[in-house]
Copies of this chain bind each other. A is one copy, B any other.
Amino acid sequence: ILALASGILAGPGGAAERDPLPSWNDGAAKAAIIAFVARVTTEGGADFVPTDQRIATFDNDGTLWAEQPGYVQAAFLMDRLKDMAPQHPEWRTEQPYKAALEGDQKAVAAGGMRAIDSLVMATHAGMTSEEFAEAVRSWITTARHPRFDRPYTDLAYQPMIELVTYLKDQRFKVYIVSGGGVEFMRPWTEAIYGIPPEQVVGSSIKLRYELTGDSPALRRLPEIDFIDDGPGKPVGIAKAIGRRPIFAAGNSDGDLQMLQWTTLAPGPRFALLVHHTDAEREWAYDRNSAVGKLDKALDEAPGRGWLVVNMKADWKTVFPFQR
């Protein structure tokens, strides 16, 4: 019955008859991914993995969608700051608000983590979770990427969307595990990637339950709850999933520990790094980038057997609109 249901769910033709990764160039990267998936899904094979243990975790910024010239959530933050400024005349003189509103990134940076924290809390806390989700939904449908002049959601990587879909078709449970805010991502991950809210793990601020009359709400408090980045990623995975992934994808040193946690264990395991090598279609950056710095993880990849995806060489298409 399960095999039959699986066959039905895989759709007409079945996975074997069509190319599951048409936006990947034929080559070692694509072949390695397909070979791994075949290994763990072949019933009776030595490396067969039962469906409930097929957990895959994907970083978001720079792995599933573009993170240049800056994180999308930072653009959201800046737009909110500008929207809110008329109600906060004190921001005209107070730092770090003044610097941020004037686009003086150097002055903001001089304020360190404390300045960033102030800007995050001013724009991301105080409202209810539902109000925040509504603000995100409204912003993401109207904001446009500075280079491509398109909605940010158009900047998802076509090859990675295909990879997520391929894994889902092969009965993997696919999660996002991102340093980004979990309540910033959940309103749109299902529409772009087919990943539902309950499979999104991210950073968070504290929430407080409130009941006003007969109206319950969750209030977003100006206090960090959890940072899902670097060594926080395996912790976030343990908290939210409680299983160890067998497949992980990232693009920066913030994914180093997630890739270690995924691969340094018995049984078949796979990890990949998206290496941004395509200045023309996307961006080229790694060891010296302020956003998405890829240095230690790039050094560790060969010894650990992690696949380094060369965006320029391995991807036929980068963004869906470039097809």
Asked if residues B200 and A218 are in contact (CB atoms below 8 Å), the reply is no
Asked if residues B235 and A197 are in contact (CB atoms below 8 Å), the reply is no
Q: Nearest Cβ in chain B — how far from A228, in angstroms?
A: 11
Q: How many copies does the complex hold?
A: 2
Q: Which of A169-184 contact B (CB under 8 A)?
A: 173, 182-183
Contacts of A197 in B (CB 8 A): 241-243
A231 interface residue (CB < 8 Å to B): yes
Nearest 10 interchain pairs by C-beta: A197-B242, A209-B231, A186-B242, A207-B235, A209-B234, A198-B241, A216-B261, A216-B260, A5-B5, A5-B8
Contacts A1-B8, A198-B241 known; 18 new A-B pairs at CB < 8 A:
A8-B8, A129-B238, A173-B198, A182-B239, A182-B242, A183-B242, A186-B242, A197-B242, A207-B238, A207-B239, A208-B231, A208-B235, A209-B231, A209-B261, A211-B260, A216-B257, A216-B261, A218-B234
Q: Which of A222-246 contact B (CB under 8 A)?
A: 225, 231-232, 234-235, 238-243
Contacts of A218 in B (CB 8 A): 234-235, 238
A204 interface residue (CB < 8 Å to B): yes
A215 interface residue (CB < 8 Å to B): yes
Contacts of A186 in B (CB 8 A): 242
A264 interface residue (CB < 8 Å to B): yes
Q: Give bound CA distance, A208 to B4, whole Å.
A: 42
13 contacts between A and B (CB under 8 A): A1-B9, A4-B8, A52-B196, A173-B198, A197-B241, A198-B240, A198-B241, A200-B242, A208-B235, A209-B232, A215-B264, A216-B261, A218-B235
Contacts of A9 in B (CB 8 A): 1, 5
Cβ-closest chain B residue relative to A186:
B242
Size range of the chain A interface in the assembly: 35 or more
Q: Give bound CA distance, A225 to B216, whole Å.
A: 24
Asked if residues B257 and A209 are in contact (CB atoms below 8 Å), the reply is yes
A17 interface residue (CB < 8 Å to B): no
A214 interface residue (CB < 8 Å to B): yes
Q: Give bound CA distance, A182 to B197, whole Å.
A: 20
Contacts of A200 in B (CB 8 A): 242
Q: Give bound CA distance, A8 to B1, whole Å.
A: 7
Contacts of A216 in B (CB 8 A): 234, 257, 260-261, 264-265
Asked if residues B242 and A198 are in contact (CB atoms below 8 Å), the reply is yes
Q: Give bound CA distance, A260 to B216, whole Å.
A: 7
Q: Nearest Cβ in chain B — how far from A255, in angstroms?
A: 13
Q: Give bound CA distance, A260 to B218, whole Å.
A: 12
Contacts of A261 in B (CB 8 A): 209, 216
Contacts of A196 in B (CB 8 A): 52
Q: Which of A42-79 contact B (CB under 8 A)?
A: 52
Q: Which of A104-136 contact B (CB under 8 A)?
A: 129
A181-219 vs B, Cβ < 8 Å mask (1 yes, 0 no): 011001000000000111010001001110100111010
Q: Give bound CA distance, A204 to B196, whole Å.
A: 24
